[in-house]
Amino acid sequence: MTTAIADQEAILNQLLKVGAKTVFGTEHKLGDIKTYEEYSQAVPIRDYEQFSGYIQLIKEGKHNVLWKGQPIYLAKTSGTTSGVKYIPITKDSIDNHINTARNALLCYMASTGNTAFADGKMIFLSGSPELERVGGIPTGRLSGIVNHHVPGYLRTNQLPSYETNCIDDWETKLDKIVEETLSQDMTLISGIPPWVQMYFDRLAELKGMPIKDIFPNFSVLVHGGVNFEPYKHRLFDAIGKKIDTIETFPASEGFFAFQDSREEEGLLLNTNSGIFFEFIPASELGRENPKRLSLKDVKVNENYALVVNTNAGLWGYSIGDMVRFTSVDPWRLVVSGRTKHFISAFGEHVIGEEVEYSLMKAAEEVGLHITEFTVAPMIQQEKGKSYHEWFVEFDGRPGDLAAFADKVDHNLREKNIYYDDLITGNILQPLKIRPVKKHGFIDYMKSVGKLGGQNKVPRLSNDRKLAAELEKYTE
């Protein structure tokens, strides 16, 4: 925490030294670069699409393309914009994924004194550890790859079994996980919140009691991948009491941050783990040469697109997440949305954090629980006819849906001045809510083959593709 800036400079120098001898390094003259300013001019920002030519060379078996030698794995991930993506993991970068998870647990132990959970059984809801080979390189889901590196001291406490983890169909796998864990002393459960909720629902259906009575020693919930707030009430309801949670910010491209404190808001940025971070101010997004900042120049409460340079061979790589710092020195942040997940069909540039806040605040005021939701623009040709359409699955519907929609709309207008201007100017109508049937989102995810594992429902889309599919699942 205290050496973050120096560590970041050292990491950039080390990346340049190794990277200079690669295909990418030769093309971008990495060997001649002495400062961050020179680096940001020599290496453009890229997303996966613009990187895929180099990945193709790696898949064809070429060496020294983005990093020395060949990756030891390719993490296969379904991109929200790119179809299937293959992200390299190298001998140098694998430690970032394993050790950061360990550090998150150790920080939790140090700050709470709770070490007892390590004696019980732990479950990590993850993708299959079975790997295929692409260009001779073992390839699979990141969570499945990481499964091969769980330290020996945790192996005996880890559930589900390897065989169960290899089941592809999520619902079949879930039934097996329930069967294997029901009689065990579960103390830690880890996974993406909507899939943890499905696991809890399945357990409660079978036993007819809250999770705290099924697993009396369950004390730690580790989560990441999506904002926890929309799921928190339902999860704690299912558990039957509040328990400690540890938030993490992992991705196939790297393990970026984790909750290190019980008191401070935000996740500690992982500044000494083989990743050099850059930040693009939200106002610069979409420009040909956006302004780029290194860690020392970021400010609190501003939204930035996160860019990473890693010892897996990612250079100027935009991962698609927006972050906002809650403090600097130490550098803690929250994920505020996705660069591609926003609505700006009318110039309002509404982001994920704003819609989540607006809905959750309204739900809390009237004592409602939300299961899942997403938002899309409804564009009509005449002025004053267009609006934001919200697809919401309620756990118990509001008595007056129109009044509830008004509350959400009011909250969003307070949060986003551009949206407020559009409503005031009669360019947009206030938002409308379409209730989704019970389990509608789960049924939709099943229909597109994205049930379970690391798959998430996007909070926002700037088009109607997802909305058109969800219409089949509305009440």
Query: Tokens 């623009």 map to which residue?
Result: 377
Distances in Å between the Cα of 335 and the Cα atoms of 142, 290, 366 are 20, 20, 27
- pLDDT classification of 384: cutoffs 50, 70, 90: low
Q: Is the pLDDT of residue 13 over 70?
A: yes
Mean pLDDT, residues 375-389: 83
Q: What is the pLDDT of residue 426?
A: 81
Question: How far is the C-alpha of 89 from the C-alpha of 71, rounded, in Å?
Answer: 5
What 3-state DSSP class applies to 10? helix
Distances in Å between the Cα of 426 and the Cα atoms of 72, 86, 199, 416, 419 are 56, 45, 45, 16, 11
Q: What is the pLDDT of residue 53?
A: 96
Minimum mean pLDDT range among 1-5, 93-97, 196-200, 238-242: 196-200
Mean pLDDT, residues 9-37: 98
Q: What is the pLDDT of residue 81?
A: 45
Q: What is the pLDDT of residues 216-275, one digit of tens each?
A: 999 999 998 777 887 888 899 999 999 999 999 999 999 999 999 999 999 999 999 999
Query: Tokens 């100017």 map to which residue?
Result: 425
Q: What is the pLDDT of residue 454?
A: 67
Nearest of 253, 263, 252 to residue 111 by alpha carbon: 263
Give the DSSP H or E segment for 237. helix 229-239
Q: What is the pLDDT of residue 80?
A: 45
Angle (CA) 169-171-177 rounded to 5° is 100
- pLDDT classification of 150: cutoffs 50, 70, 90: confident
Distance of CA 261 to the CA centre of its chain: 20
Mean pLDDT, residues 205-217: 97
Q: Is the pLDDT of residue 136 over 80?
A: yes
Question: How far is the C-alpha of 69 from the C-alpha of 109, rounded, in Å?
Answer: 38
- pLDDT classification of 381: cutoffs 50, 70, 90: low
Q: Is the pLDDT of residue 467 over 90?
A: yes
Q: What is the pLDDT of residue 252?
A: 92
Angle (CA) 36-337-354 rounded to 5° is 130
Residues 6+ apart with CB under 8 A from 41: none
Residues 6+ apart with CB under 8 A from 235: 193, 196, 197, 200, 221
Nearest of 221, 222, 204, 205 to residue 213 by alpha carbon: 204
Q: Is the pLDDT of residue 313 over 90?
A: yes
- Residues 368/404, Cβ–Cβ less than 8 Å: yes
Residues 6+ apart with CB under 8 A from 77: 84, 85, 87, 141, 142, 252, 454
- Mean model confidence pLDDT for the chain: 91
Q: What is the pLDDT of residue 383?
A: 65
The stretches of 61-141 forming alpha helices (DSSP H) are: 94-112
Question: How far is the C-alpha of 305 from the C-alpha of 289, rounded, in Å?
Answer: 14
- Residues 378/462, Cβ–Cβ less than 8 Å: no
Question: How far is the C-alpha of 411 from the C-alpha of 297, rounded, in Å?
Answer: 31
Minimum mean pLDDT range among 70-74, 297-301, 378-382, 412-416: 378-382
Question: How far is the C-alpha of 75 from the C-alpha of 53, rounded, in Å?
Answer: 16
Question: How far is the C-alpha of 474 from the C-alpha of 429, rounded, in Å?
Answer: 21
Residues 6+ apart with CB under 8 A from 445: 451, 455, 457
Mean pLDDT, residues 366-374: 93
Top pLDDT among 442 and 351 is at 442
Distance of CA 77 to the CA centre of its chain: 12
Residues 6+ apart with CB under 8 A from 112: 244, 262
Quickly count: other Cβ atoms within 10 Å of residue 34's Cβ.
9
Question: How far is the C-alpha of 451 from the C-alpha of 31, rounded, in Å?
Answer: 45
Q: What is the pLDDT of residue 250?
A: 92
Question: How far is the C-alpha of 138 from the C-alpha of 131, rounded, in Å?
Answer: 6
Mean pLDDT, residues 141-159: 86
Q: For residue 161, what are its two tokens?
A: 């079994």
Question: How far is the C-alpha of 359 from the C-alpha of 133, rounded, in Å?
Answer: 44
Minimum mean pLDDT range among 77-86, 124-133, 268-277, 323-332: 77-86
Top pLDDT among 458 and 200 is at 200
Query: Tokens 């329930």 map to which residue?
Result: 178
The stretches of 46-150 forming alpha helices (DSSP H) are: 48-59, 94-112, 142-147
Q: Is the pLDDT of residue 278 over 90?
A: yes
